[in-house]
């Protein structure tokens, strides 16, 4: 999929599925790093625990699409890992993430996008992310239906995933996480991308010297991690071509 096709798909349906975005040795290595971080209860501090995850921030499987969607002033908001245990009734209700934001006409805006990278299969009865395609265009305040079960949402699409798949989703798309009724834990990396003039959850000092060094060595990583550039305003930051 070209970045233009990705942007068109995102504009039309509010999300993009990248099958097999990670595969083979790369997927195995990332899975291993994830397991190590999980064992140390460090899924919230992935970049310090496993600097290997830095390479995912601008990974060629999805970053060209993120760049086409958010624009040249893109910045990372966070990267975190999460596990939903097997047989856990801990789905999230249907919602859109940006319903409390002000001064933005969300159906017209690309203010925030989320990336999910799946490191284990998510079967039909697993903790699937589900979306309502096209809901990112609903007028603000459009009421969510009052429904008792996740599956009662009209027009929803449940995203059954294979390990290595990724999904990019508009923060304004209606979505939910289904209960995990499978025997498989769900393992996912979640990140969010915004514009440079917004607030990232990171400061350079949050990272250990080795990670800081790698961020500082790259123009694009400096931008993605919100590092100021002398003489360049927040409005003017752009990736290298
Ligand atoms: O975990 C998921 O699949 C969905 C997470 C979610 O609802 C959110 O990020 O707002």
139: domain CATH number is: 2.60.120.620
> Is residue 201 in contact with ligand 1, taking CB distance under 6 Å?
no
Q: Which atom of ligand 1 is nearest to the CA of 82?
A: 1
**Ligand 1 and 177: CB distance under 6 A:** yes
Query: For 158-179, how does the pLDDT look when each residue is reduced to its tens digit (9 = 90+)?
Result: 999 999 999 999 999 999 999 9
Which residues pair with residue 78 across a beta bridge? 192
Q: Tabulate helix, strand, coil % of the chain (nearest 5).
A: 30, 25, 45
In a domain, 193, yes or no: yes
- Taking a C-beta distance cutoff of 8 angstroms, is the pair 130, 175 a contact? yes
The verdict on the CB of residue 112 being under 6 Å from ligand 1 is no
239 CA to centre of ligand 1 in angstroms: 28
Which residue's alpha carbon is nearest to atom 7 within ligand 1? 176
Q: Which residues of the chain have pLDDT under 50?
A: none
Specify the 3-state DSSP secondary structure of 90: coil
Does a structural domain hold residue 238?
no
Does the C-beta of 97 come closer than 6 Å to ligand 1? yes
Please tell me if the CB atom of residue 175 comes closer than 6 angstroms to any atom of ligand 1: yes
Q: What is the pLDDT of residue 100?
A: 87
Q: Is residue 214 part of a domain?
A: yes
In angstroms, the CA 93 to CA 207 distance is 34
Q: Please check whether residue 237 lies inside any domain of the structure.
A: no
86 domain-assigned: yes
Is 231 contained in some domain? no
Task: Determine the distance separating the centroid of ligand 1 and the alpha carbon of 222, expressed in angstroms.
Answer: 27
pLDDT tens readout for residues 95-137: 999 888 889 999 999 999 999 999 999 999 999 999 999 999 9
Residue 230, domain member (yes or no): no
Structure tokens at 128: 């699937």
Half-sphere exposure of 50 (CA within 13 A, CB side): 25
User: What's the pTM value of the predicted model, to 2 decimals?
Assistant: 0.97
Based on the structure, what is the number of domains in the chain?
1
Contact 168/114 with Cβ under 8 angstroms? yes
Cα dihedral sign for 202, 191, 58, 68?
negative
The residue nearest atom 4 of ligand 1, judged by CA position, is: 177
Which residues span the domain enclosing 184? 3-224
pLDDT of residue 104: 93
Closest ligand 1 atom, residue 190 Cα: 9
In angstroms, the CA 162 to CA 124 distance is: 11
The 113-118 sheet, strands edge to edge: 15-18, 166-170, 113-118, 186-195, 74-84
Supply angle C-alpha 101, 104, 109, rounded to 5: 115
Does ligand 1 have an atom closer than 6 angstroms to the CB of 186?
Answer: no
In a domain, 39, yes or no: yes
Query: What is the predicted pLDDT for the residue at 155?
Result: 97
Distance 129 CA to ligand 1 centre (A): 7
Confidence at residue 99, expressed as pLDDT on a 0 to 100 scale: 84
Helix pair angle (3-13, 63-70), 10° resolution: 60
The alpha carbon torsion through 139, 145, 111, 157 (nearest 10 deg) reads: -120
Phi, then psi, of 70 in degrees rounded to 5: -80, -40
């Amino acid at each position: 999929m070209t970045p233009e096709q990705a942007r068109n798909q995102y504009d039309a349906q509010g999300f993009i599925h990248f099958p097999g975005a990670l595969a083979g040795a790369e997927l195995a290595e990332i899975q291993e790093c994830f397991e190590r971080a999980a064992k140390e209860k460090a899924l919230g501090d992935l970049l310090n625990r496993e600097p290997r995850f830095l390479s995912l921030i601008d990974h060629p499987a999805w970053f060209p699409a993120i760049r086409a969607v958010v624009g040249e002033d893109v910045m990372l908001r966070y990267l975190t890992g999460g596990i939903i245990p097997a047989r856990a009734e801990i789905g999230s209700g249907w919602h859109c993430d940006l319903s409390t934001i002000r001064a933005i006409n969300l159906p017209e805006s690309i203010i925030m996008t989320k990336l999910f990278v799946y490191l284990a299969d998510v079967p039909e009865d697993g903790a699937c992310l589900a979306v309502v395609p096209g809901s990112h265009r609903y007028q603000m305040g459009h009421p969510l239906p009052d429904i008792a079960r996740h599956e009662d949402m009209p027009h929803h699409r449940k995203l059954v995933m294979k390990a290595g798949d990724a999904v990019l989703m508009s923060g304004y798309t209606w979505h939910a996480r289904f209960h995990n009724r499978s025997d498989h834990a769900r393992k996912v990396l979640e990140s969010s991308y915004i514009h440079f003039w917004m607030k990232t959850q990171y400061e350079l000092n949050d990272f250990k010297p080795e990670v800081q060094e790698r961020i500082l060595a790259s123009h694009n990583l400096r931008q993605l991690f919100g590092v100021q550039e002398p003489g360049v305003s927040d409005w003017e930051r752009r990736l290298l071509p």
